[in-house]
Amino acid sequence: MSAAAGGGRNPSPAPEANRLARKRVSEVVQLLHGAARAVRLYPAENSAVRKVLTELGAACDRIEEADRQFELKRAGNDLFINDTRLRPGLDNLTAVNAVIAMMRNHGVGTIALRARPTHRDWVELLGALRQAVGNVPEDDRLASVATRLDEAGVQSFALGPTNEGLDEVETEVDGKERSRQTYMRTVTVTRDIFRSARAGGTVGVRRVRRVLRGVVDQVLKDEVSIIGLTTLRDFDEYTFVHSVNVCILSVALGRRLGLSKPQLLELGLAALMHDVGKARISLDVLNKPGALTEDEFAQVREHTWRGVLALFGMPFGAFRPWRAMVVAFEHHRRTDGAGYPRTRRSRALSLFSRIVAVVDGFDAGTSKRVYKDIPWSPSDVLRDMRDCARHGLDPVIVKAFIGMIGIYPLGTVVVLDTGEVGVVVGVPTDPSDAERPVLRLVVAADGSRITDETTVDLAVPPADGRPPRTIIRTEDPERYGIVVTDYTT
Ligand SMILES: [Fe+2]
Ligand SMILES: [Fe+2]
């Protein structure tokens, strides 16, 4: 389906035109979601409603100008505008899920523009798509939306049914895109797990199993692209994005350590749930900027045993997630017996706990948090984990982890001895080349920005006889205005 799903083996980002088209699609979907919420909260003449509808109209105009048409289409869990597939990301995930749900609930497969909609037209459409379906049979829902618009005299939209055949689109996407879908689905389900755990409810275990199977399959099939996605970080929604990253990296590491597929599924569950106890801790404490008081810190430490209780409460049926409970309890304990929670008798940490502790330390160390402005660079965190015995991590697992993601993991921004700046887009396969990854150069020696897709493999000596480039230090991507995920996903 169109060039949007392309990509192939090249680690470089899609051409500029594709990226722009995708950005426009994402913008429309986010505005549509924003407008739907505004229309629900305020009367149509409210200035907030008018503002978002004006922006939505302008965003649609831009697409219509470029493509000469505008058709929003849902195929399964994908959204397209004209031929451009929307790429769900952490920035637009809520909007994408909401728009898909609105369309699916009402049997709407396509929304095309016949004429430029007025504000009133949008308000009517969004009202119709947000109305409860009640006991309207599934086959009649689209007609009921169309009738409502007709009766209101709205002519600017042409609605079409869902073309279920289009659901097959998923089989055509390449590994990279499939990894992205797997990642975003896992984030959505994990968010639901945390939300419902916070509200005292439960989440469908079948959904959890399904996303875990997706993660394990994707790690087995295309490890590089799904690991690349763990460089995605979302500041506001830290806990569950962190949980997804820890899940993916733990499964990949478990595979390196020779675990079987059923073991990987169990490890994935344990890793995904390791911090689920945080759902039982006050958000004021979890998101508090600045240092925690001793009392608050004690509350945060409670997430370990609270996680065990939360797992007991989940409807796993006959299956008891014992290993996940052990990991929830143990992941902050250290191999030397230190850490928390303290227990009277010390017991060797389980293998799963040791794996999750290493990955957890890495992901937490490299993330930006409310109390930490500048995250450590991934390579500094790895070196610290390797060299600092006081962390109490299992050295064999740390070594395997570094072997897996490289001392300069994907997405690390590095400065070279030539003065150039690059982003790591490929990890060396030979461990003796650990310090020589593949880079996309983004800043030239004279400080100018490099816009073409120049890739250099530091392990390969330059053909012109010059000495090979060497990494002299890592840098905070923000210093150079670099969005790491533009290069790694
Ligand atoms: Fe934790
Ligand atoms: Fe954690």
Note the pLDDT tens digit of each residue in 314-323: 887 777 899 9
Cα of 483 vs centre of ligand 2, distance in Å, is 24
Cα of 473 vs centre of ligand 2, distance in Å, is 27
**363 compared with 164, residue with greater pLDDT:** 363
Q: What's the pLDDT at 164?
A: 60
Q: What is the mean pLDDT of residues 355-381?
A: 78
Q: What's the pLDDT at 368?
A: 63
Q: What's the pLDDT at 11?
A: 43
Cα of 371 vs centre of ligand 2, distance in Å, is 16
Cα of 474 vs centre of ligand 2, distance in Å, is 25
423 pairs with which residues across the strands? Answer: 413, 440
Q: What's the pLDDT at 329?
A: 96
Cα of 140 vs centre of ligand 1, distance in Å, is 48
Cα of 242 vs centre of ligand 2, distance in Å, is 7
Cα of 455 vs centre of ligand 2, distance in Å, is 34
Cα of 198 vs centre of ligand 1, distance in Å, is 16
Asked if pLDDT for residue 31 goes beyond 70, the answer is yes
Cα of 359 vs centre of ligand 2, distance in Å, is 9
Nearest ligand to the CA of 246 is: 2
Cα of 275 vs centre of ligand 1, distance in Å, is 5
pLDDT digits 0-9 by tens, 192-201: 888 888 887 7
The domain 174-402 is classified under which CATH number: 3.40.640.10, 1.10.3210.10, 3.90.640.10, 3.40.50.720?
1.10.3210.10
Cα of 250 vs centre of ligand 1, distance in Å, is 14
Strands 78-81 and 471-475, bridge-based pairing = unpaired
Nearest ligand to the CA of 242 is: 2
Cα of 332 vs centre of ligand 1, distance in Å, is 6
Asked if pLDDT for residue 373 goes beyond 80, the answer is no
Nearest ligand to the CA of 305 is: 1
Is the Cβ–Cβ distance between 425 and 455 less than 8 Å?
A: yes
Q: What's the pLDDT at 488?
A: 67
- Which of these, 87, 27, 83, 78, lies nearest to 57 by C-alpha position? 27
Asked if pLDDT for residue 147 goes beyond 80, the answer is yes
Q: What's the pLDDT at 33?
A: 94
> Which of the listed ranges 52-56, 413-417, 442-446 does the model predict with the highest average pLDDT?
52-56
Residues with CB under 5 A from ligand 1 (ion): 275
Q: What's the pLDDT at 200?
A: 74
Mean pLDDT lowest for which of 9-13, 273-277, 335-339, 384-388?
9-13
Q: What's the pLDDT at 307?
A: 94
Cα of 302 vs centre of ligand 1, distance in Å, is 9
Cα of 16 vs centre of ligand 2, distance in Å, is 36
157 contact partners, CB below 8 Å, separation of at least 6: 111, 112, 113, 114, 117, 121, 125, 149
Q: What's the pLDDT at 257?
A: 94
Cα of 29 vs centre of ligand 2, distance in Å, is 32
CA distances from 458 to 414, 431, 434, 438 (A): 12, 13, 10, 6
Q: What's the pLDDT at 431?
A: 65
Cα of 118 vs centre of ligand 2, distance in Å, is 48
Distance CA(453)–CA(314), nearest Å, equals: 48
Asked if pLDDT for residue 166 goes beyond 60, the answer is no
pLDDT interval class at 153 (50, 70, 90):
very high
Nearest ligand to the CA of 281 is: 1
Cα of 384 vs centre of ligand 2, distance in Å, is 18
Nearest ligand to the CA of 332 is: 1
Asked if pLDDT for residue 389 goes beyond 60, the answer is yes
Q: What's the pLDDT at 489?
A: 62
Asked if pLDDT for residue 103 goes beyond 50, the answer is yes
**433 compared with 78, residue with greater pLDDT:** 78
Cα of 328 vs centre of ligand 2, distance in Å, is 9
Cα of 393 vs centre of ligand 2, distance in Å, is 14
Q: What's the pLDDT at 217?
A: 94
Q: What's the pLDDT at 374?
A: 64
Prediction pTM value: 0.75
Cα of 361 vs centre of ligand 2, distance in Å, is 7
Cα of 303 vs centre of ligand 1, distance in Å, is 7
Nearest ligand to the CA of 243 is: 2
Distance CA(352)–CA(374), nearest Å, equals: 30
Nearest ligand to the CA of 365 is: 2
Nearest ligand to the CA of 301 is: 1
Cα of 253 vs centre of ligand 1, distance in Å, is 18
DSSP 8-state assignment for residue 466: P
pLDDT interval class at 5 (50, 70, 90):
very low
Q: What is the mean pLDDT of residues 166-190?
A: 74
Asked if pLDDT for residue 2 goes beyond 60, the answer is no
Q: What's the pLDDT at 427?
A: 79
Q: What is the mean pLDDT of residues 322-331?
A: 96
Domains of the chain by residue range: 3-171, 174-402, 413-488
Mean pLDDT lowest for which of 55-64, 234-243, 335-344?
234-243
Cα of 364 vs centre of ligand 2, distance in Å, is 7
Nearest ligand to the CA of 361 is: 2
Cα of 219 vs centre of ligand 1, distance in Å, is 23
- Which of these, 97, 76, 100, 87, lies nearest to 166 by C-alpha position? 76
Cα of 278 vs centre of ligand 2, distance in Å, is 9
pLDDT interval class at 422 (50, 70, 90):
very high
Cα of 429 vs centre of ligand 1, distance in Å, is 31
